[in-house]
Amino acid sequence: MGARLETKVFEDADALATAVADEFTALTEGLTHAPFTVALSGGSTPKKLYELLVNEPYRDRVRWKDVEFFFGDERSVPPDHPDSNYGMAKRALLDHVPSKAHRMAAEQDDVKTYARLLSERITERRDGIPVFDLVLLGMGDDGHTASLFPGTAALAEGRRWVVMNDVPQLHTRRMTLTYPVLNAADRVWALIAGAGKRAVVAECLAKAADPGDPPARPILGVRPTAGELVWFLDAAAAGSPAS
């Protein structure tokens, strides 16, 4: 069935990002192994988090040399393109810390190299699948997460860890991690902010106990088999006051 979904609600996107920064920092302060592997997300709310982490009080508390970054998905653009998830993360976070980071070469459709990288760099396995210590996700207004979009072929992928996914509704093609890898993670944190997400959040929370197969909203397919699943929401997305 997968992990029970836990929700945490904050006043606004800034408070949400601060809470995640606090939890991320605490995780790294208590590390018992290295590298601590993290899959990064694109989007405005993760960007707020990255910008917080490279400033005090977080910058000197995180054990950056023990953290190794990967990506959950990428657009088919070079790293210096303004739409690149890697480019955003590089400017906001990676240029400022001594962590190792691995971008997805989505503009080259190079899924084999990224899958091999996961196999080589992430040594822990769950049912033969690499186990991320932490996966950061966002959610779009249509319920997509990473580049798992409604109605796309990647939703049915049960074997490969990384695929190129055609997204006809956006007239594009993207590289993305698949459900098998996302659901093998020890922790999955989804950062979801904004009133534009409220209706989909409400729908997803109503269906969380029985998301369907395939799920109506792709984010509902993210159900870690043995790890934790937390949605960090601002009040606008949750439709309720901060807890």
Q: What DSSP line would sit under 97-112, residue for residue?
A: S--EE----GGGT-HH
Tell me what pLDDT residue 241 has: 81
Tell me what pLDDT residue 242 has: 77
Tell me what pLDDT residue 153 has: 96
Tell me what pLDDT residue 214 has: 78
Tell me what pLDDT residue 192 has: 98
C-alpha 130/C-alpha 122 separation (Å) is: 6
pLDDT tens-digit map of 154-187: 999 999 999 999 999 999 999 999 999 999 999 9
Enumerate residue ranges in the chain where pLDDT < 70.
1, 243
C-alpha 173/C-alpha 159 separation (Å) is: 20
DSSP letter string over 3-62?
Answer: PPEEEEEESSHHHHHHHHHHHHHHHHHT-SSS-EEEEE--SHHHHHHHHHHTSTTTTTTS
Tell me what pLDDT residue 2 has: 72
DSSP letter string over 87-153?
Answer: HHHHHHTGGGS--EE----GGGT-HHHHHHHHHHH---EETTEE--SEEEE---TTS-BTTB-TT-G
Tell me what pLDDT residue 218 has: 97
Domains with residue ranges and CATH for the chain = 5-238 (3.40.50.1360)
Tell me what pLDDT residue 215 has: 86
- Whole-prediction pTM value? 0.96
